[in-house]
Structure formats: C-alpha cells, structure tokens
Structure 1
Amino acid sequence: MSKPNRTWWAPTAANARRTAIGATAIGLCLALASFYVWNSPGSPLAPAAQLTSASQKTALENHLEAKKANLEADVKALETKLANREAALKDATGKSASADATIQDLRDQVAAAQGAADAAASARDKTAAELASKGSGDNGSSAPQSQPAPVTTSKPTTKPTSKPTTKPTGKPTSTPKPPATSTPITAPSLASLINPTSKLFGMYTQQAPFNFATFDDTATKVGETPNVVGYFGGWDEAFRPAAVQAAWKRDTMPVLTWESRPIGSGNDKIVEPGYELPTILSGAFDTYLHQYAKDIVATGLPMGIRFDHEMNGIWYPWAESDGSGKSLNGNNPGDYVKVWKYVHDIFEQEGANKLVAWIWAPNIVNNLPKTHKTAEYLASLYPGDDYVDWVGLSGYLRPPYVDNPYTFDFTFGSSLTQLRALTKKPIFLAEIGASETGGHKAKWITSLFDGLAKPENSDIIGFSWFNLAVTSYVEGVRATNDWRIDSRSDTLAAFVAGITTPGNGYDLTPIAKP
C-alpha cells in the first residue's frame, strides 16, 4: 500500500492543493493593488518624478494660454492699425490719382502746345520757301508754279498758257483754331448757295480763311465785303474744319480748290508717283476720301469744292494727255471723269453731298494745244449734270500779249460758248486776274464788269479774284505779275467802279473806308 500525499498544513492532498491556489491568487491581488497605488498621479505614494512632470505640464499650459491671449490681443491691435493704414492709403491713393491726372493733363497741354508751335513753324517755313521759289506758269491758268525741278518726264517746250506761280494754301502762320464763339455757327442752305439771288465776289489771299488780314485790307479798299473766300488743299492733308468755320463765322462761303496731289508740289511737276488717276480708281485713297467726307459732315456747314481744276490743260498730274497724244502721269482717256464720279460717289455714301457744291472748272481754251481747244475734248472731261453743281473757268490777262484786245469777250468768250453747249448749270469764274505788266489791267477790269452785266451773261453767278503778286518766268524771262486788285490806283478805281455800279447785281455789305 502507498503513502498518502499530504502536508503538514493540510490534512489531505486535495485540501493542500486548494490552499496553494488560493494563496497564489491573494498574492497576485496584493501585487496589483500595490502597483496601482504607487503609479497613480494623485496618490500620495506616487513617485516624485511623476508628480514633478504633471506640475510642469500645468504651468506650461498656463504660460501658453497667457501667451496665446497676448498674441490674440496683439493681432487685434495690428488689425486695427492695418485698417487705419489702409484707409489712409486709400485716401492718399485717391489724391495721387488726382495728382497724376492733373500732371498728365498738363503734359498733354504742353505736348499740344509744342506740336502747335512746330506746325506753325513748319507752315511758316514752307510758305516762305514757296514764295521764294515759285516758277513760271502759262497764260490763262491759275496754277501757281515753282522753279523747275527734275521730273521723270518733261513739260512741252511751248507753254500754251500763263499761270500765277504762287497759290494761297490757306496754311496759317499760327496754328488754326476753330473760332471761339458762344453761339453756334450758322450758314444758308446748300440749295440757296447753289442758286444765289445775287452775284458772288470772292478772293484768294495768302492766308485766308485762317487769317483774314490781307483779305480785309483789300476789301476795305474796295469798300465791299466779299461773300466768297477761296483756298487750296492737297491730298496729303486732312480736312481742315477751321477753314469752313472761320469763313461762315463771317457769313462768307468757303470754296476749296482740292488737288489730288501733295499740297507742296510745284506746278512744274506733272508726274506725281502714287497719285495717278488709275491709282485713285484702284481704291488706294478710299480710306482718306471716306474720312474726308465724314469730317465735312461733322461740321454741318456747306462749302464749295473745285476738284482737280483746269483738267483740260497740260500742267497738272490729273490731265489725261499732253496735246500730242502722249499720256500724262500714266493717265488714260476717260480716267478723269471716272475719278470725279468715284470721289463724288464716296461723298454720297457718307452724306457729304448734302453740304458740298461741286465745281467743275476747266481753263479758258484760248492758248491750249490744238487738240485740247475743241468742244469735243472739253465734253470728254465733263462728268455730267448729276455730278456737278457749278461749272467754272480759270482765266487771266497776262503777257505775252499776242493780238489781244484786252477784253472780257476775248478772254472768256470761246470758253463760255463751249460750257453752255455742255450744260445749263450756273457758271462761276472760279479764278481770274490781270497783270499790271503792259499797262492794260484797268481797261480789262472795266471790260470784265461790262461783260458780266450783259443779259447774255446772266448765267454767270460771280467770280473769285486771285489777289497776289507773283514773280515767275515767262518764256525764259523773269517777271513779276501783280494780280492784286489794289496794285495801282487806277486799277483799284476801275474795280470799285465796276463792282459798285447800280444794277450789276452784287448785293454786298459796304465797308466804310477809314
């Protein structure tokens, strides 16, 4: 038999095992409790290092909270300061913008003044140069000329007509400005201008209609106020509204001689590259022409345009031929009429024809080449009544005098006959004058007014006088032709007598002589 398995503290083996298990469980519970007590932060038995860490954490949190509060206060202060600065900056920016605008405006004014000064100086120098260098012309033609210059083709050696050699360009000695007025500028209707109830007396002077000093001086000597002022313009110039405005401010009709070439071209220059009639017809100037017409419409004021005058001569680049069958400036037969209609149609598109009296004005036929003297040739250059409001003539009395009776009929008779065969339109002697050379001027002026007073010439509604003195070459001889109305006392007296004769039809405003 085996020994029983028991200990001294348990009577049986089973009890011993139960007792050992219970003791072990109790020991584990005590160990867990001790561990909790020793490691709890709030326990008085907790380790010193642990307590110190918790205390530091609380202090740091308090410090950070305080710093955060201070920073938030600083942010609010900075935001307030920034708002104040932004308001101040906005105010300063507004003042700066205003100051900048003022400065820019002053700069613009300075630039405009400088530009005006430069333009005035250029115009002055150009005018002086033109007066100093103008060359010879042909009898009966109005075209001012300069001294001969090299050109690609030469002019015929026999000059058919004589022409004044300086044209008034209308360019002012100072910058033109629209007339200052507190009331709108008014003018008669175009219809009443085209069909006037009294005769017209016009003048060309060097500066009118921008400067009326010479114009008014001559008018005062005549004792009558002209009701037409003539001036010239080229296709390198924009429309100049100041000319039309200044004229109508004086109740004077402006008539522009509009040349399809640069205004500074000398009248001995027949060839103008880039201004050939076929070039115009190609549309090369369409933008310019449309803008010119628009600018006329913008004024709302009527005017006359004598476009590419003296087209039956041989001295301008818009002439078709030289009288011997050769083309001038690359032009073809029929091109002149085509160009006239082309330009007229562009003005119609822009509404400018409601303000423009179109003046078709050839040269007197007396001394033209034989082929150009005929009625058929003149007719080939006429655009037709639908495109013309007045027909006119350029004609001068000047040397050389060959079997010349110095009369109105001799100067204008043959040309008037051809005009009347073409149309019944009113006739305006668009550019006329007489030279003092030879001593025939006063007699010719008397004949002029006698001829205009004849019933058969009642369709002549007036004339415009080329009122300048010009030095030029005539058949190689340098001479001065004084075209002015007041060139001599007997000339002036003849003119005054003619224009003031009762019944002559000039209803002009008298001027009291000083």
Structure 2
Amino acid sequence: MARLTRPRGALVLAGALLLALALTSVATSGRWGDGRSGPTAGTGPDRPVAGEAAETARPGGSPRPARALFPPKGKTFVGVMTAAGPHDLTATTMFAAAAEHQPQAMLFSVGWASGPFDRTLFDRISGRGMLPIVGWEPWDHRPGEAAIERGLPTPEVDRARIAQPRYRLANIVRGDFDDYLRSWADGIRSLGYPVAIRFAHEMNGYWYPWCESVNGNRPGDYVAAWRHVRDLFRAAGATNVTWVWSPNNKWDDSTPELSTFYPGDDQVDWVGLSGYYSTVFSPEYRSFDKIFAESIEDIRAFTGKPLVITETGASDSQGRKAEWIAETFRSLRRYPDIIGVVWFEVDKPRETDWRIASSPAAARAFARAVADPRYTFTWSADMIPRSAMED
C-alpha cells in the first residue's frame, strides 16, 4: 500500500472535510424552509418562511429564494370535489375535460368512524398535480346514508345523521379520540408536502353532529374542539397543514353569528364558505353576491385571512346553470381576497346534479371562465400555501 506524503495527505484531508460539508448540506436541504420536501414541512403560523420574496440561508451562508406561494399573487385556484374523490379519479378526469382546465386542488371527505389515515389517497391527489384538501368529519356517516337508501323522509334522515352522542364535541375535547388524531398527525407529517384540513365544516348549521345546536353540544364547544385538534397536530410536529375554517353561508336571519365559532387567527390559515344556487328551497334565481356577499362581509369583520369558496355548485332545474357560472366568475373579480373556488362535481341523490360535465352549456361557460389568466397556473408540492393576503 502506498504511503501518503504530506502534500497528498493534506489534499485527502481537505477532500474529506468538503465531503462532510456536502453531506451536511444535503441533510439540511431536506427541510421545508430550504425549499425541498421533508417531514418538518411548515405552513401558516408554524411555517419557517413567510413572504413571496423571502430568502432562506443555505449552508455556507449563501441565500436562496423561498418557495413560491400557493396560489401565486393575483391568482385563484380551481378545486374539485367528486363523489368518489381519490378512490376513483374518473369523475375528476371528466371534470378536467369538461372545464378544459387542470384543477389545482381536490377536496375529499373522511369520516372519523371509518377513515383511518391512508397515505395512498393523498399521494393520488398530489400525483395528479393537485393540493389535497381533506374534509375531516368527526362522525359516522353511515347511518344517514342507510336512511337515504331506505327512502326515509328527510326528518328521519336528519335524526340518523345528527343523533351521535359518541361524537359530541365535548368528547373530542376530553381526549376520547386522541389516539386517532395522533395517527393522522403522524401520517400527514410523514407526507413531506402540504395538505389542507377542513375540520368539521358548516358548524353553524344543524345537519351535522358537531353543530353546537344539536347532539348535546353546548356554546363554546366547537372552538374548544378545534383548538384541541390543532394543539395535538402542533405537538406532533405536523406543521405541513393549512387549517381551513369553513362555515355555511348565511341562509336567513336565524343563522348564528359566524364569529361565535371562529377559533382565532392563530388557529386558522384559510376561511371558507359553502354556498349553492339551488331551487330546492326557493324558486328564485340567486346570484353569487346574493348567496355569499353578506357572509363575506360578516367574516371580514373579524378576520382578514384568505378566503376559499370551499363548496359551490348550481342547479340546472330552470336552465340557468350556465348563466350562473358565467355570472359567478365575473363576480369573483370583485373579491381579490378569494384565493380558491372548489366546485361540487356530484350528482347527489335527493338533491340535484351539480356537475358541469352533465351540461354542455355549463361546461362551456365554466371552460370560458377558467381560461382567464387569473386561474391558469400549476400547483407544485414545493409551493407554500399562503396564509395571509399580504404575502
């Protein structure tokens, strides 16, 4: 074996030091704040990077640009929700074809009684170039579905849906579901890319067991449950979550004040609203502004967080679906704080067919609307969901 001379020994030593530095750099660059996916990914108040022009330090002190925000400044994402969600992407493909547009997000529902964490579902969505948004629902959805299949009248269906004492909000706060919550926190942390959680949506209604007016819940229970869930995720290091607080739009003067259910800006990244043009309860035509404007005004009285229309759709029972779609997207120009719109692409039993794919006229109207540059961009797992409008 050749003996090292001093000059050659010095070169080898220097090379070893450079190799060690390179390995340290690779290990460090696996963190979210350095622009690559990793288990410590962050968004919202916990994220390590804020602002579109922010820079992060690289090993050795040289800066690099922070990752792009989702959606980019001046853009609005288009999302889709289908009946099968990521279990079967056929309806998503049909929606994209009808819209002539690749959606940048997908919302799907998971009920706590039958929904263990399944990484496959998230990977299918992200693999199709969409941000996964999970509607995380603390209930057992099966009794209500069974009542519908049996053809029971609406009051009996409602009772089957909301009379679920196991899922009272106080039980969540008490810790009855902590093991389940931690399993999800650990699973989402391991994804290494951003997801959004829409926890216990439409809490200002009466049709879910987590609404404060039913199922033995009391005033203040919803906020306490939200904070409990969020605290467990923080403790687990699951900081790659964008938390979406999403009430239903105000439907009449009996609707509870939305501020009553708001957990606070330190707990919420996006605020959302559900609202549909439907002729089920009223035959009159209701524009986007008629459905959403009052609720948006109420929300803006207590938070400036980015807003997402987390569910919307239109009935075509009077032949006005295409008209409503065109008018809605024109109206959105007046709401620069709306950063996303999720279309409910479902033919729902006992309601109506909300899909744009069901109507050539609706599909054309939707395709023309989302061809606007405001909606044309690509989601990437390297993007950071924006949590403030000034970002």
Fold-level similarity (TM above 0.5): yes
Rate the CA distance shift 1:493–1:186 in 2: closer, same or farther, 3 A: farther
Cα distance between partner residues in 1 of 2:371 and 2:71: 22
Alignment match, 2:357: 486
SS of the residue 1:340 aligns to: helix
- Whether 1:247 and 2:139 are equivalent positions in the alignment is no
Alignment match, 2:321: 441
Paired AA for residue 376 in structure 2: D
Paired AA for residue 295 in structure 1: G
The answer to whether the 8 Å contact 1:201/1:227 transfers is yes
- Whether 1:344 and 2:227 are equivalent positions in the alignment is no
Alignment match, 2:206: 314
TM-score between both structures, scaled by the size of structure 2: 0.73
SS of the residue 1:309 aligns to: coil
Which residue of 239, 246, 251 maps to 1:361? 246
Alignment match, 2:219: 333
Residue 204 of structure 1 and its aligned partner are, at CA, apart by: 1.0
Q: Which runs of 5+ in 2 are unaligned?
A: 1-35, 45-67, 145-156, 379-391
Paired AA for residue 366 in structure 2: F
Which residue of 68, 88, 111 maps to 1:211? 88
Paired AA for residue 296 in structure 1: I
- Whether 1:388 and 2:280 are equivalent positions in the alignment is no
The answer to whether the 8 Å contact 2:165/2:216 transfers is no
The answer to whether the 8 Å contact 1:436/1:487 transfers is no
Q: RCO (CA 8 Å, sep 6+): is it higher in 1 or 2?
A: 2
How many residues align? The count is: 303
Rate the CA distance shift 1:389–1:185 in 2: closer, same or farther, 3 A: closer
The answer to whether the 8 Å contact 1:203/1:215 transfers is yes
TM-score between both structures, scaled by the size of structure 1: 0.56
The answer to whether the 8 Å contact 2:107/2:132 transfers is yes
Rate the CA distance shift 1:185–1:243 in 2: closer, same or farther, 3 A: farther
The answer to whether the 8 Å contact 1:393/1:430 transfers is yes
SS of the residue 1:202 aligns to: strand
Q: From the two aligned structures, give the one with the greater helix fraction.
A: 1
Cα distance between partner residues in 2 of 1:249 and 1:400: 37
Percent sequence identity over matched residues? 37
Cα distance between partner residues in 1 of 2:82 and 2:132: 13
Bigger shift: 328-337 or 393-402?
393-402
After superposition, residues 282-321 of structure 1 pair within 5 angstroms as: 282-321=174-213
Residue 189 of structure 1 and its aligned partner are, at CA, apart by: 6.8
Rate the CA distance shift 1:406–1:440 in 2: closer, same or farther, 3 A: farther
Alignment match, 1:372: 255
Rate the CA distance shift 1:386–1:226 in 2: closer, same or farther, 3 A: same
SS of the residue 1:406 aligns to: coil
SS of the residue 2:301 aligns to: helix
SS of the residue 1:251 aligns to: coil
Cα distance between partner residues in 2 of 1:199 and 1:462: 5
Paired AA for residue 260 in structure 2: S
Alignment match, 1:506: 375
Alignment match, 1:495: 366
Alignment match, 1:275: 167
After superposition, residues 96-107 of structure 1 pair within 5 angstroms as: none
Paired AA for residue 291 in structure 1: S
- Whether 1:226 and 2:94 are equivalent positions in the alignment is no
The answer to whether the 8 Å contact 1:244/1:301 transfers is no
Deviations, residues 230-256 of structure 1 (Å, cap 9, x unaligned)? 100011221111111111222210000
Alignment match, 1:460: 338
SS of the residue 2:293 aligns to: helix
Cα distance between partner residues in 2 of 1:491 and 1:309: 27
SS of the residue 1:242 aligns to: helix
Q: Please report the RMSD computed on the Cα atoms of aligned residues, expressed in angstroms.
A: 2.2
Alignment match, 2:14: none
Cα distance between partner residues in 2 of 1:189 and 1:320: 31
Cα distance between partner residues in 1 of 2:228 and 2:207: 22
Rate the CA distance shift 1:185–1:263 in 2: closer, same or farther, 3 A: farther
Deviations, residues 455-497 of structure 1 (Å, cap 9, x unaligned)? xx0000011111011231xxxxxxx511001221211111111
Rate the CA distance shift 1:249–1:189 in 2: closer, same or farther, 3 A: farther
Cα distance between partner residues in 2 of 1:193 and 1:206: 29
Rate the CA distance shift 1:222–1:189 in 2: closer, same or farther, 3 A: farther
Bigger shift: 211-220 or 341-350?
211-220
